[in-house]
Chain A
Amino acid sequence: MSYIEDNLDVIVIGGGHAGVEAGLASARLGLKTIVFAVNIDSIAMMPCNPSIGGTSKGHLVREIDALGGEMGKNIDKTYIQSRMLNTGKGPAVHSLRAQADKDKYSKTMKLTMENQDNLKIRQNEVVEILVEDSIVKGVRIISGSIYYAKAVIIATGTYLKAKCIYGDVVIHSGPNGLQAANYLTDSLVANGIEMYRFKTGTPARIDKRTVNFKMMDEQKGDEKVVPFSFTNTKEDIKREQISCWLTYTNKRTHEIIDNNLHRSPLYGGEIEGTGPRYCPSIEDKVIRFHDKERHQIFLEPEGEDTNEMYVQGMSSSLPEDVQKEMYRTLSGLENCEIMRTAYAIEYDCINPLQLKQTLEFKKISGLYSAGQFNGSSGYEEAAAQGLIAGINAGLKIKEEEEIIIDRSEGYIGVLIDDLVTKGTNEPYRMMTSRAEYRLLLRQDNADLRLTDKGYKVGLINKERYNYFVHKRQAIEIEIQRLSKVIVGTNDKVQNILRECGSTLLRSGITLKELLKRPEMTYKVIESIDPNRLPLSSDIVEQVEIQIKYEGYIKRQKKQVAQFKKLEKKLIPEDINYTDIKSLRIEATQKLNKIRPLSIGQASRISGVSPADISVLLVFIEQLRQQKIIDSK
């Protein structure tokens, strides 16, 4: 039966990592919000790896936190191991990663949502998007009742027409045996949305009691834990950590895989979706790197209150009996018992080129989307998009200017710009090498980059903002001070230099110059810097990084200035590219499809050449001059 059930501001379809951030952001902006999930026990569920962060993903989480999102806070509450990766390398690629207690992560997030003002959680399946005159009006759920809203955010993850596959077993369900959403795709297609079909996979979970850890290498957490959220200190989140374990595949493993490849659904044609290069199944790895004698496999605990362990590095869609045989070839897993079988999952998602940089559909006003539905992969990528979609849906309703994080401001910007400008033909994973201004987009300075924006939007409260402003000032003041304090060639100074293996001074030098030497640290020069004020470690870290890498940072800032110039050259929204005769045909088609916001964005579209950009610039100038004449 069809009836009107409710009238809201924002409807979010899906309660995964994207849906959660979208729902919370919108509600926190004061908008009446509802989040639908096929099963509300699966809110913020982690159906694959039990960790948050890692290279580039850790950067995303800190950016989410700086903007006022929830992921960082939630993992700080529920982590069971924390590591800063890449500490042997430069600061730009230091990456924070935490193992999560999956169950606690999900429950804690659900409770946060339940207690959020303006936010309703509803278990039900959305089957239809209601659109009138290219404006979204609301949704219809499976019971027939209608929810009206000013904006709708689709965050269906891997649930649309989902199909889980291993061997010759095909189950029409979402991840983890949860009910798939089988109707919404048709409604989207009817509204002219172009769909893709992607594939991803997950390894088996095994029983901890059947693992011989003596045969494996232990991977402990860091002693000094860095929180994800800028609102936490390391003391706030101190706790007992649980180890991960490292083992390897061997010749026997690879033989078993080779011998059973014909039983893989990939070869039988059951799987049609495009899988990511970023998480290949173990059979992919063995085929593609046949000469590699062994592959690393990590055993990661799924939580404190469970014996399940995640076998990272061994996702598979081979039949169950083959899986058992192959897992048991690993050192330490000889007697392991599988609790959940590894599987591949196929799902419907969209071609993200249909989205604006605000994550709103170009063709349907008020309809936004985020997460794996947009062709990305990963919890963090999903959450980042969810947050932006939630903020922008809210800002649009409040008739405020929507936000776009650009490529020079954050990994979030790189992620979204890549998706909506370049598109993707496989689930998109964030990587630090995708960020051209990596040295500026560090995980340590996410707050400096984005807190202003979060405050302006309304997700960062006054107290936190004041604290932040104070920190920012303190960093600047300290750098100024260090560039003025000069130390001479006295014995005390020379002794310290000698101890650090540094070249001795011939004449006076500022502390700032001294700190630029790779072997010198802020701490080491303490005794020759008597007027120093006590500063917190995060401030010291910024001072050190900004001084040590000053030259490189300056150069990247110069590149950014160039980049911004082109980003600021906006293209009129109503431009008709087919009017521009001198564009090459490929460029016309691409520009018409993607409809870039700025000359900068246009120049990143593959198939648009520098000459096309020149032609476009001339055409825009022509339009502008014409308008001036017309208005006279």
Chain B
Amino acid sequence: MLNDTIVAISTPLASAGIGIIRISGDEALKIISKIFVPKKSMDNRNIVSHTLHYGYIIDPKYNRTLDEVLVSYMLKPNTYTRENIIEINAHGGLIVLQSILSLVLRSGARIAEPGEFTKRAFLNGRIDLSQAEAVMDIIHSKTELALNASVNQLSGNIKNEIEKIKKNLLETIAHIEASIDYPEYDIDELSADQVKEKMEKVATKIKYLISSYDNGKIIREGIKTVIVGKPNVGKSSLLNALLKEQRAIVTDIPGTTRDSLEEYMNIHGIPLKLIDTAGIRLTEDIIEKIGVNRSKELMLNADLILFVIDSSECLTTEDDEIMELISNQKVIILMNKSDLNKKVKKEHLKEHLREMTIIETSALKFEGLDQLQEQIKNMFMIGNIQIDNETVIHNIRHKQSLEKAIESIYNVIESIDNRMPEDCYAIDLHSAYEHLGEITGDHVNDDIIKQIFSQFCLGK
């Protein structure tokens, strides 16, 4: 735990063109040699430190090339963590980065805790004593963020699903433990075959959850954030401003955006699926009408709505109609065009949409955007908004825990097949439960004892 090999994607999780995966620890060299095929052959025993190598990351299991990469080798002690460090520079965007990360994890590394590279750097004497406070702060703040994000990334369905599996496991464990600790009580003992049957079911369920991640859905998902408003209030400008690129066509002609546009971005590590919609108004144009209806549909299914109004114009019945439609949703109101003369007052809006956050923005001048991002982050952290309720695993940490859990379950089944007694396979049952607990954040031992006494009537 103190000096095993860790890995993380060390560039921001945005859809940037290039990303770096950093591996640190004694096993780093061994791991990279399993998955990296350099163009020019190299001698793994005589690697020159601080050199860059061109080649391919290949998943040895399927003999599939994941990406064309540059790998830098940095040998201890002259590295950031004073351990061997490998950095994989990949180009394939987020999906590819994630699959390389998965591969590294499968090859023997563990996902780094938040701030862990820095922690190691300090513990190994790489960082000056005066920086200790800062190091502790980094660990602290990064962890808080990651923890909240991690919990919130568990959609309701996933959480239910994992809780169900856990409950199932816990009941089995408690049953076995109760019959071990109270051998003379009239508890119907679980036979090995019964346990095996239960575990096979559990394994199927966990496998399904893992596959949901592998399907690459993570990128398809994110907080479904729908930008709505009547035509020409600056919705597309806002999208462009947030993405810092000209993604949507912006004109001053109302109704320019006929269909919705989807884009992905990251706000402080939180994945966002931004959807720009056609402005909502009564229209006779058939194509625009379809767009308007689609906008309404998207609004209803949104996790978060960014309601844009033109603060330089008075509110119209069209604005009122939208307000009506979104009154039960999570909404941030953006008083756009704040650089122009203001005709709408915040107070007036408050009457209609109570308790909703109002932010003044100018998409053209990039004003108010930081405040918007901060607000989205906060709403996510306190659990106010959540990624929509599909049964999909988003978080690599969760995936790793599930993989460890299923490995333990397979061990249980193997032990049973080898006719080992319950005290042997109980070890793996416990660790399966522990790994699932890592996802939901519970502690094992207390749970088990509590469960024993609520499930069975025991005691002298």
- Which residues of chain A come closer than 8 Å to B1, judged between CB atoms? 562, 565-566
- Residues of the A chain whose Cβ atoms lie less than 8 Å from the Cβ of B219: none
**B420, A580: Cβ atoms under 8 Å?**
no
Contact in complex: A438, B423 (CB < 8 Å): yes
A606 touches B443 (CB 8 A): yes
- Are A609 and B143 in contact, with the CB atoms below 8 A? yes
Complex Cα gap A167–B420 (Å): 50
Of all chain B residues, the one with the shortest Cβ separation from A606 is: B443
Q: Name, among A289, A583, A611, the residue most crowded by chain B CB atoms within 10 Å (CB to CB).
A: A611
Contacts of B443 in A (CB 8 A): 606
In the complex, whether B449 has a CB less than 8 A from a CB of chain A is yes
Residue A99 interfacial (CB < 8 Å): no
**Would A315 and B420 count as touching, CB distance under 8 A?**
no
Report whether B123 and A610 are in contact in the complex, using a CB–CB cutoff of 8 Å: no
The interface-forming segment of B77-85, B111-119, B263-271, B385-393 is: B111-119
| CB <8 Å contact, B123 and A621 | yes
Given contacts A611-B113, A614-B113, A614-B119, A582 and B136 within 8 Å (CB-CB)? yes
Determine whether B258 belongs to the interface, using a CB cutoff of 8 Å to chain A: no
Tell which of A455-463, A468-476, A533-541, A548-556 binds the partner.
A548-556
Q: A49-B460, A436-B445, A618-B139 are in contact. Are A92 and B423 (CB under 8 A)?
A: yes
B123/A55 in contact, CB under 8 A:
no
- Interchain CA distance A288-B452 in the complex, whole Å: 13
Question: Which one of B156-164, B182-190, B246-254 is at the A interface?
Answer: B182-190
Across the interface, B460 reaches (CB within 8 A) one of A93, A279, A566, A609, namely A279
Partner of B449, one of A433, A519, A569: A433
Number of B residues contacting the other chain (C-beta, 8 Å)? 51
Residue among B114, B181, B449 facing the most chain A CB atoms (10 A cut-off): B181
Cα–Cα distance between A432 and B420 once the two chains are bound (Å): 18
- Given A434-B445, A439-B423, the answer on whether A285 and B457 have CB atoms closer than 8 Å is yes
Evaluate contact between A439 and B183: CB separation under 8 angstroms.
no
Question: How far apart are the CA atoms of A274 and B458 in the complex, in Å?
Answer: 17
Knowing A439-B423, A611-B113, say if A56 contacts B181 (CB, 8 Å).
Answer: yes
Per a CB cutoff under 8 Å, which of A90, A432, A617 touches B424?
A90
Is B180's CB under 8 angstroms from A292's CB?
no
Least CB distance from A178 to B in Å reads 21
CA gap between A433 and B426 in the complex, in Å: 9
1/0 per residue, CB under 8 A from A, across B268-279: the answer is: 000000000000
Chain A residues near B116: list those with CB within 8 A.
Answer: 614
Say how far B136's CB is from chain A's closest CB, in angstroms. Answer: 4
Contact indicator B459/A277 (Cβ below 8 Å): yes
Those of A19-46 within 8 Å (CB) of chain B: none
B2 in the interface (beta carbon within 8 A)? yes
Residues of B within 8 A of A285 (CB): 457, 459
Among A581, A621, A626, which residue has its beta carbon within 8 angstroms of that of B133? A581
**Contact between B459 and A279 (Cβ–Cβ < 8 Å)?**
yes
Which residues of chain B have C-beta atoms less than 8 A from A95's C-beta?
A: 183
Question: Cα distance A562–B135 when bound, in Å?
Answer: 25
B459 and A280: CB pair below 8 A?
yes
Q: How far is the CA of A583 from the CA of B140 in the complex (A)?
A: 7
B interface secondary structure, majority: helix
Asked if residues B140 and A582 are in contact (CB atoms below 8 Å), the reply is: yes
Contacts of A614 in B (CB 8 A): 113, 115-116, 119, 139, 143
Is A622 on the interface with B (CB-CB < 8 A)? Answer: yes
B460 touches A55 (CB 8 A): no
Mark out the residues of chain A between 289 and 337 whose CB falls within 8 Å of any chain B CB in the assembled complex.
289, 292, 295-296, 298, 312-313, 315
Do B186 and A296 touch across chains, with their CB atoms under 8 A apart? yes
Give the number of chain A interface residues (Cβ < 8 Å).
Answer: 64
CA–CA, A289 and B456, complex, Å:
8
Do residues A432 and B181 form an inter-chain contact, with CB atoms below 8 A?
yes
Q: Which residue of A lies closest to B421 (CB)?
A: A90
Q: A90-B420, A518-B419, A611-B114 are in contact. Are A55 and B457 (CB under 8 A)?
A: no
Least Cβ–Cβ distance between A361 and chain B, in angstroms: 26
- CA A280 – CA B459 in complex, angstroms? 6
When distances are taken between beta carbons in the complex, the residues of chain B under 8 Å from A93 are: 180, 422-423
Query: Is the pair A292, B457 in contact by a Cβ cutoff of 8 Å?
Result: yes
Interface centre among A562, A566, A618 (most CB of B within 10 A): A618
Docked-complex contact A277 and B119, CB < 8 angstroms: no
- B457 contacts A288, C-beta separation under 8 Å: yes
- The answer to whether A86 has its CB under 8 Å from any CB of chain B is yes
- CB pair B180–A55 under 8 Å, yes or no, is yes
Whole-angstrom distance between the alpha carbons of A298 and B122 in the complex? 61
Q: CB distance A629 to B180 under 8 Å?
A: no
Cβ of B460 and Cβ of A315 under 8 Å apart? Answer: yes
Within 8 A of B (CB), among A116-140: none
Chain A positions within 8 Å of B445 at CB level: 433-434, 436
Judge if B430 is at the interface, Cβ distance under 8 Å: yes
- Using known A-B contacts A432-B180, A439-B427, A606-B443, determine if residue A313 contacts B129 with beta carbons closer than 8 Å: no
A55 and B182 contacting across the interface, CB-CB below 8 Å: yes
Question: With A49-B460, A617-B123 known to touch, is A89 a contact of B140 (CB < 8 Å)?
Answer: no
CB-CB under 8 A from A518, the residues of chain B are: 418-420
Q: Which residue of A lies closest to B189 (CB)?
A: A88
With an 8 A cutoff between CB atoms, is A144 at the interface?
Answer: no
Chain B residues positioned under 8 Å from A312 (CB to CB):
460
Q: How far is the CB of B337 from chain A (nearest CB, A)?
A: 43
Shortest CB–CB separation between residue A595 and chain B, in angstroms?
A: 20
The 0/1 profile, CB within 8 Å of A marked 1, for residues 103-144 of chain B is: 000000000011110010011010001001101110110011
CB distance from B427 to the nearest CB of A (A): 6
B184 pairs with A85, CB closer than 8 A: yes
Q: Does residue A187 face the partner (Cβ distance < 8 Å to B)?
A: no
Residue-wise interface mask of B (391-420) relative to A, using a CB-CB cutoff of 8 A (1 in contact, 0 not): 000000000000000000000000100111
Write the chain A residue with the least CB distance to B180.
Answer: A93
Assess whether A629 is in contact with B123, with CB atoms less than 8 Å apart.
no
Task: Say if the beta carbon of A278 comes within 8 Å of chain B.
Answer: yes
Q: Is the CB of A55 within 8 A of B140?
A: no
Q: In the complex, what residues of B have CB within 8 A of residue A619's CB?
A: 132, 136
- By a CB distance below 8 angstroms, the chain A residues around B448 are 433
Give the docked Cα–Cα distance between A566 and B113 (Å): 17
In the complex, what distance in Å separates the CA atom of A298 from the CA atom of B139? 56
Chain A, range 554-606, C-beta contacts under 8 Å to B: 555-556, 562, 565-566, 569, 580-584, 606
Q: How far is the CA of A436 from the CA of B177 in the complex (A)?
A: 12
CB closest chain-A residue, reference B443: A606
By beta carbon, the residue of chain A nearest B141 is A582
Report chain B residues within 8 Å CB of A289: 457
Chain A hits for B140, CB < 8 A = 582-584, 611, 615
Residues in B165-224 with C-beta less than 8 Å from chain A: 177, 180-186
**Binary flags per residue of A411-449, CB closer than 8 Å to B gives 1, else 0:** 000000000000000000001111010110000000000
In the complex, A195 Cα to B460 Cα: how many Å? 26
- Determine whether A273 belongs to the interface, using a CB cutoff of 8 Å to chain B: no
Interface pair B133/A433, CB less than 8 Å apart: no
Which B residues touch A280, using CB under 8 A? 457, 459
Interface residues of B in 439-460 (CB under 8 A from A): 443, 445-446, 448-449, 452-453, 457-460
A113 to B: closest C-beta gap in Å: 28
Contacts of A313 in B (CB 8 A): 460
Q: Does A191 contact B (CB under 8 A)?
A: no
Q: Distance in Å from the Cβ of A397 to the closest Cβ of chain B?
A: 36
Given pairs A432-B181, A584-B140, 18 additional interface contacts (CB within 8 A): A55-B181, A55-B182, A89-B421, A93-B422, A279-B459, A280-B459, A285-B459, A433-B177, A439-B423, A552-B424, A565-B2, A581-B137, A610-B143, A618-B132, A618-B135, A621-B123, A622-B132, A625-B125
Q: List B residues at the A interface (Cβ < 8 Å).
A: 1-2, 113-116, 119, 122-123, 125, 129, 132-133, 135-137, 139-140, 143-144, 147, 177, 180-186, 415, 418-424, 426-427, 430, 443, 445-446, 448-449, 452-453, 457-460
Q: List the 4 closest A-B pairs by CB distance, nearest first.
A: A90-B421, A611-B143, A582-B136, A90-B423
Q: Return 14 A-B CB contacts under 8 Å, by A number.
A: A56-B181, A90-B422, A95-B183, A278-B459, A279-B460, A289-B457, A433-B177, A439-B423, A580-B136, A581-B133, A583-B140, A611-B143, A614-B115, A625-B125
